[in-house]
Amino acid sequence: MPARSIASRMVASSAHSWRGQVAALAAAFALTFATAGVCAQSLQDKIAQCAACHGEDGKSSDPAIPHIGGQPQLFVMYQLFFYREGRRKSPEMNTVAKELTDAELTAISEHVAKLPAPPPQSGTPDEAKFKRGAALAQQRICASCHNDDYSGREQMARLAGQREAYTIQALKDYRAGVRIGTQAAMPETVRGLSDDDLAALAHFLAYVR
């Protein structure tokens, strides 16, 4: 049975809890990686594609492109899967991911997770905006999923030190229902927040230490 169809059915299944899906998908990818193998040169070429936009150390130089260093391995694997299957839309990422095998998803996500996490944004934050963002993060209990230091875990993204412009757009996409996650938590979390609220949250997360 093709490895791609195994992972596809596991993520699409609604018969299990998200925890069961996480465990099953990870097991399928691990099995595929062990049995199918990965062409070292091809994999390095694909990692180089990632580095071209996201930086060799996982730190993007473009405000609209996210830092990826230090992201949880499972989070990266899910995002690549969503891009590959067209469930998350980005012309560039859909093109890069469409031919990735499950083994390559695993290998790339493991590589990304080992890259250094980005430091807080340099400079001095806007005090009022930072405090507003911190208050919103507490009200919306962001730390309950993303950790107290916003470092992320499992399928939940690292938020600390992320590009401010990218975070704003991601939050807007969740609010508009055009970005999916492994659960419905994010659309619920940002529901009712204004553009100014989202900007304050992104500002806080970019500078948080």
CB 88 within 8 A of CB 82: yes
Mean pLDDT of 115-139: 97
pLDDT per residue as tens digits for the range 156-170:
999 999 999 999 999
Model confidence, pTM? 0.80
What is the C-alpha separation between 120 and 104, in angstroms, rounded?
30
CA 40 to chain centre: 24
Q: What is the CATH number of domain 127-207?
A: 1.10.760.10
Whether the per-residue pLDDT at 25 is higher than 90: the answer is: no
Instruction: Tokens for 194, please give them.
Output: 């204004």
CB 130 within 8 A of CB 121: no
Q: 3-114 with 127-207: one CATH topology? A: yes
Whether the per-residue pLDDT at 102 is higher than 90: the answer is: yes
- Which CATH superfamily groups domain 3-114? Cytochrome c-like domain (1.10.760.10)
Averaged pLDDT of the chain: 86
What is the C-alpha separation between 72 and 197, in angstroms, rounded?
26
CA 36 to chain centre: 25
pLDDT per residue as tens digits for the range 29-54:
454 444 444 444 589 999 999 999 99
Q: Where are the domains of the chain?
A: 3-114, 127-207
What's the pLDDT score for residue 181?
A: 84
Whether the per-residue pLDDT at 144 is higher than 80: the answer is: yes
Pick the closest to residue 70 from 170, 154, 151, 10 (CA basis).
151
Whether the per-residue pLDDT at 21 is higher than 90: the answer is: no
